[in-house]
Chains A and B, each alone.
Chain A
Amino acid sequence: MEYSTKKTSSFLEGIDNEMLAGFIAETLERLDGAEQLLLAIETDPETDDTINALFRVLHTIKGDAQVLAYEDMSDLADAAENILSLARNGEIILSGSPLNIIFDSISLLRRLTTSLKTAISEDKNLHSDPRVSALVSRIGKIALKKPRRKLGEILVESGHISNDVLAQALKQQQYESLEVETADQPYEADMFPEYEEGETAKLGKMIRIDSARLDHLLDAIGELRIVSSILYNDRKTMLTSSNETKNSISILEKITQNIMEVGGALRMTPIKSIFDKMFLLVHGLVKNIGKEIEFSVVGGDTELDRTLVEKIGDPLVHLLRNAIDHGIEKPSLRKTLSKNRKGMIQLKAFHEGGNVFIEVKDDGCGLDRDIILTKAIESGMVHPGEDLSDADIFNIIFNPGFSTVESVSVVSGRGVGMDIVKQKIMELQGDVEISTEKGVGTKISIRLPLTLAYIDGLIVRVGDERYIISSSLVVEVIRLNSDEQFLHSEDRSALNFRGSLIPLLNISNIFGIREDASKTTEYFAVVVECTGKVTALRVNAILGREQFVFKKLARILSKMQYISGTVIMADGCISFVLDIDRIIKGN
């Protein structure tokens, strides 16, 4: 990579790619922080502490950019810093256009950072960005606007004091203000009340790791785990080995399990980073549409797999957009409905039963059951007179066919793109559900696994084949010992499960497996729940439950229906993981 700007100062020597990468990562984090500070300033434009903290962020970015001789970035940071400097001295107030220009500067600084990143990764030249000079001159105009006249100048002009006296007084004032400035430490204490003292210290001890290396490590741990369980399972039949060896193998298996857990934890990261971005998004969206919304976030420190954190952003943006655009009513309408003028949107994350739940809840207009049903019937997705529960009807909006129905979003509140949201969540081995009440509000609940690297699976036998069912989907396992429990018709079976009839699907039929009649004297039903639907799967035996290293199907196999991935069993054989959602839908 080269800078096409002419200046490649001697300082650029000795900058390697690792330094650039570290700079990029840190700068992006800084800009995230800056946005938070800006939001705080917007609510209270005259908080010195916040302005100082923001000034420091821009100052550091400027210093770094100078080290890299990245002129676009240092110029822009410098200009923005000037505005903050004026604000610090009380010469301008950070609201209206000065505030907006800082918002713009931060987002352009972010773009400059990402274009530097692209330039490095694609080994391209970094071109000067024309937007920088435009923004810098806009900033210049704001800075030039006649500031309030200073008291000292007025006094000198009127002859009350001499220039020397003024200079002396100013000097004294500067010292005093320095004293004040350093006497309290506003930054962490006030801005981030949720960070305890220990927390900040902890942040300093963090190290950055290349995510590819981390993935390699986890892959290796996975292999280790397989070998270890093979040894463990064979230990009893090893004739030659001593008891010590067998003991060691048991210990090895325990340690390996431990390593696997620690390895999994390495991938975990708090969802806060994404939630913070949502704050900004909501802020931006609400600004332009004349609605009043109180946005709150709960559970930002909930941890989940890094990959999930990265990929959950888009679906969340979509859900929040829907809630803002179509869910929350205009203030005037809300008033006539005797609702609070301000609409409420809450984003919440929490752990439950080995899963992570993320909820988007609003107190807007909710979904209209009848309109959805009418539309669904019109488009032929539902037959008139079909017996559907409310949940069934609301879940229609996740159906790809439904979203294409024109003008649905305007009428019913939402629906556009919900199929894409659902699809993305399913790709992450998660699930999404909706509960809503007309006029009261809507809650969309996303369930995600804690991690994508491992799967906690139930091993079942069908004929001579073994399959894995993700434990998080399993509600109950029932031994089918008499015909009383289930009903047959020609091609369908149903199971009486806690007083209600649920479909009973025969796995051997789905995969065309022949069951050896002499071996299959008994059956089990694995009751699974997915997308709000409860279904039973008929299998021949339950073999156990284990943690596996999960591998997605290779692309050439991705057309295989009803299979989501593979795992390697303790005996070294490969087993398929059942794609429960598609099995339920396809049967």
Chain B
Amino acid sequence: MYRIMVADDSWLQRKKIGKFLQTNGFEVIEAVNGKDAVEKSGVDMPDCILLDLLMPEMDGIEVLRTFQQDGTSIPVIIFTADIQDTSRARCFELGATDFINKPIDQDKMLEAIQKILDIKGDKD
């Protein structure tokens, strides 16, 4: 079973997305802010991270930067509202794999995750 991390400071977003992913057969772990995401990803080794940009403690950009510095290769999908092209470019530069706009279109999200997992290769 694939393990997806949902990193968002909004409880509602975590629950909503988490529940949807669970019903689609994923294991879900939650992170309540960027710092939490960095800490937990080292321990729980998710196959993919859904990362919000605007969070307290450590924002999405800084999470990406930390991953890059640490050489963490977990694929990251940024999901955020009102994304400006400049920060989009910045995120890709820092190694983000994909982008989804909020409010999230569930099918698109599933598609993006699937694409990443296909690249990673099959896993039981």
Closest to B56 in A: A187
B43 at the interface (CB under 8 A from A): no
Contacts of B86 in A (CB 8 A): 171, 174-175
Cβ A60 vs Cβ B59 within 8 A: no
A64 at the interface (CB under 8 A from B): yes
User: How far apart are the CA atoms of A274 and B57 in the complex, in Å?
Assistant: 25
Stretch at the interface among A11-19, A295-303, A486-494, A512-520: A11-19
Cβ A63 vs Cβ B102 within 8 A: yes
Closest to B79 in A: A63
CB distance from A412 to the nearest CB of B (A): 49
Cβ B61 vs Cβ A178 within 8 A: yes
A22 at the interface (CB under 8 A from B): yes
Contacts of A175 in B (CB 8 A): 86, 90
User: How far apart are the CA atoms of A10 and B86 in the complex, in Å?
Assistant: 30
Cβ B11 vs Cβ A26 within 8 A: yes
A53 at the interface (CB under 8 A from B): yes
Query: Contact mask B2-37 → A, CB, 8 Å, 1/0?
Result: 000000011111011001100000000000110010
Contacts of A11 in B (CB 8 A): 16, 103-104, 106
Cβ B10 vs Cβ A182 within 8 A: no
User: How far apart are the CA atoms of A63 and B53 in the complex, in Å?
Assistant: 12
Closest to B93 in A: A175
Cβ A67 vs Cβ B13 within 8 A: yes
Known: A11-B103, A11-B106, A204-B36. A59 touches B90 (CB 8 A): no
Cβ B54 vs Cβ A67 within 8 A: no
CB distance from B24 to the nearest CB of A (A): 11
- The answer, among B57, B62, B81, for a CB contact under 8 Å with A66, is B81
A188 at the interface (CB under 8 A from B): yes
Query: Contact mask B84-124 → A, CB, 8 Å, 1/0?
Result: 10110010000000000011101000000000000000000
Contacts of A63 in B (CB 8 A): 10, 13, 81, 102-103
Cβ B56 vs Cβ A178 within 8 A: no
CB distance from B27 to the nearest CB of A (A): 18
List which B38-82 residues lie within 8 A (CB) of chain A. 54-59, 61-62, 65, 81
User: How far apart are the CA atoms of A63 and B80 in the complex, in Å?
Assistant: 9
Query: Contact mask A20-56 → B, CB, 8 Å, 1/0?
Result: 0011001000000000000000000000000001011
Known: A53-B56, A56-B54. A23 touches B12 (CB 8 A): yes
A200 at the interface (CB under 8 A from B): yes
User: How far apart are the CA atoms of A181 and B19 in the complex, in Å?
Assistant: 33
A62 at the interface (CB under 8 A from B): yes
Closest to A55 in B: B54
User: How far apart are the CA atoms of A484 and B103 in the complex, in Å?
Assistant: 83
User: How far apart are the CA atoms of A59 and B102 in the complex, in Å?
Assistant: 11
Cβ A178 vs Cβ B90 within 8 A: yes
List which A305-329 residues lie within 8 A (CB) of chain B. none
A185 at the interface (CB under 8 A from B): yes
User: How far apart are the CA atoms of A241 and B106 in the complex, in Å?
Assistant: 64
User: How far apart are the CA atoms of A520 and B58 in the complex, in Å?
Assistant: 73
Contacts of B61 in A (CB 8 A): 178, 182
Cβ B12 vs Cβ A64 within 8 A: yes
User: How far apart are the CA atoms of A187 and B55 in the complex, in Å?
Assistant: 10
CB distance from B89 to the nearest CB of A (A): 9
Cβ B16 vs Cβ A26 within 8 A: no
Contacts of B19 in A (CB 8 A): 14
Cβ B12 vs Cβ A19 within 8 A: yes
CB distance from A24 to the nearest CB of B (A): 10
CB distance from A63 to the nearest CB of B (A): 5
Most interface-central of B19, B56, B104 (chain A CB within 10 A): B56
Cβ B103 vs Cβ A23 within 8 A: no
CB distance from A21 to the nearest CB of B (A): 10
Cβ A19 vs Cβ B90 within 8 A: no
User: How far apart are the CA atoms of A22 and B55 in the complex, in Å?
Assistant: 18
CB distance from A4 to the nearest CB of B (A): 20
Most interface-central of B20, B54, B65, B87 (chain A CB within 10 A): B54
CB distance from A5 to the nearest CB of B (A): 15
- The answer, among B15, B33, B102, B106, for a CB contact under 8 Å with A22, is B15
User: How far apart are the CA atoms of A53 and B10 in the complex, in Å?
Assistant: 14
User: How far apart are the CA atoms of A188 and B33 in the complex, in Å?
Assistant: 12
User: How far apart are the CA atoms of A19 and B16 in the complex, in Å?
Assistant: 8
User: How far apart are the CA atoms of A182 and B91 in the complex, in Å?
Assistant: 13
CB distance from A111 to the nearest CB of B (A): 19
Most interface-central of B16, B55, B58 (chain A CB within 10 A): B16
CB distance from A169 to the nearest CB of B (A): 13
Known: A23-B11, A204-B36. A60 touches B54 (CB 8 A): yes
Closest to B15 in A: A19
User: How far apart are the CA atoms of A14 and B56 in the complex, in Å?
Assistant: 27
A-B contacts, 18 of them at CB < 8 A, read A11-B104, A14-B16, A14-B19, A22-B11, A23-B12, A26-B10, A56-B9, A59-B54, A63-B102, A63-B103, A64-B10, A66-B102, A66-B103, A67-B104, A182-B62, A185-B57, A185-B58, A204-B32
Q: B residues near A, CB below 8 A?
A: 9-13, 15-16, 19-20, 32-33, 36, 54-59, 61-62, 65, 81, 84, 86-87, 90, 102-104, 106
Known: A26-B10, A63-B102. 5 other contacts (CB 8 A): A14-B16, A53-B56, A60-B9, A60-B54, A182-B65
Q: A residues near B, CB below 8 A?
A: 9-11, 14-15, 18-19, 22-23, 26, 53, 55-56, 59-60, 62-64, 66-68, 171, 174-175, 178, 181-182, 185, 187-188, 200, 204
